Amino acid sequence: MKRLLPTLVLSVAVLAPGTTPPALARSAPPPPTVELHDALRPVVAAGAPGAIALVAAGRRTRTAAVGTADLGTGRRMNAHDHVRVGSITKTFVAVVALQLATEHRLHLDDPVGRWLPGVLPYADRITIRQLLNHTSGVPEYFDKLLQHNATQPGAPQLRHWEPRELVGFVAGEPPLFPAGTGWQYSNTNYILVGMIIEKVTHRRLADEVDRRVIDRLRLRDTTFPTDETTLPKPAARGYWDLGPGTAPLDVTEYNPTALGAAAALVSTTDDVARFYRNLLTGHLLPTPQLTQMLTFVDHDGGLGYGLGIARIPTPCGPAIGHDGAVPGFATNAYASPDGRRQVVIAANLFPGRQAQTQEESVSTLFCGSS
């Protein structure tokens, strides 16, 4: 069943060049809850069944939810609903890799072949750092996975995948460019980073993310699932937009091993905001490693990508964080460089027509949260 197969964003979602968010100046500012609802309503009007927003500035946190979490039952969206946060997973995984570098258990400039001999024909010519910042040239595996699943009977979206199988989809292809000479977002990079973490620690990646990040920050609503195809309650259902005049398709349930270290994480807007706040204020990494994480490779006119973290321009300055999109869910999470302000918006539709509107709402709330 091809349209039940998982997909995910293969590039970092960003504000469209030249996009100007609605004016923020008002003679009498509305109550904060009205402001958040105003930013979310266009996301639902653009097609998402429901949406959640969180804005945190200093010690003040505001949340709002609009629309529907479950089209089958009519349950309303709740600000505490769990969602799949997709490629926000990459920042968590990068933190673990940088912690291991701090402990001198690996070096960011180690060749991939040192830890994963033979995984790729050119593994000795790419480094862990180049995987983390997408300058490795390793091709994207996900298109191949989708093509494979389209030929399979039954429910291939529920099948378990080993990381080496995912890398195997592109192991026979040449690199997109010599390592270090270009930039191209590739989920395969993070599948490889996850494999290296497991090789270094002799533990499952999920266990390392739990121990080093989730448990450390007490992110009680965040999980790194392996074969769990359902979401913890309360949860929004996730939907795929099949086009005008057609009801969205429920794609909530699938096996997250197809996403692994690239995009498997499940969380809430509150936990995601807390994660980026603690990361950027130095509670997860020593200053030298955090500085390396925030050393950005510039690409696509003003955009930047560090080690598992992105930088986007907004009308009020740069925002740092990540976007995540997997079947049924799209999440945008950004913070000020000092970590004092966070904005997170999650919607339960992907692919969907609301993506651009959602990005504009993030910019509007980010610039209005100071």
DSSP 8-state secondary structure symbol assigned to residue 131: H
Rounded distance, CA 168 to CA 164, Å?
A: 6
Model confidence at 32, pLDDT cuts 50, 70, 90, reads low
Window from 201-205, 239-243, 289-293 with minimum mean pLDDT: 239-243
Q: Name the class of domain 2-12+33-367.
A: alpha beta
pLDDT of residue 292: 98
Model confidence at 34, pLDDT cuts 50, 70, 90, reads low
- 177-221: per-residue pLDDT in tens? 999 999 999 999 999 999 999 999 999 999 999 999 999 999 999
- 20, 128, 327, 335, 336 from 310: Cα distances, Å: 20, 17, 21, 10, 12
Rounded distance, CA 166 to CA 16, Å?
A: 31
Rounded distance, CA 365 to CA 50, Å?
A: 17
| Bridge partners of residue 267, in order along the sequence | 83
Global pTM? 0.91
The three-point CA angle 276-331-354 to 5° equals: 145
pLDDT of residue 11: 32
| Residue 267 a catalytic site member | no
pLDDT of residue 33: 62
Rounded distance, CA 33 to CA 51, Å?
A: 14
Alpha-carbon torsion, ordered 128, 130, 131, 133, to 10 deg = 120
Alpha-carbon torsion, ordered 297, 299, 304, 307, to 10 deg = -40
pLDDT of residue 14: 27
Residue 78 has pLDDT above 60, yes or no: yes
- 312-332: per-residue pLDDT in tens? 999 999 999 999 999 999 999
Query: Which residue out of 11, 87, 136, 267 is catalytically annotated?
Result: 87
Averaged over 215-241, what is the pLDDT? 97
pLDDT of residue 370: 57
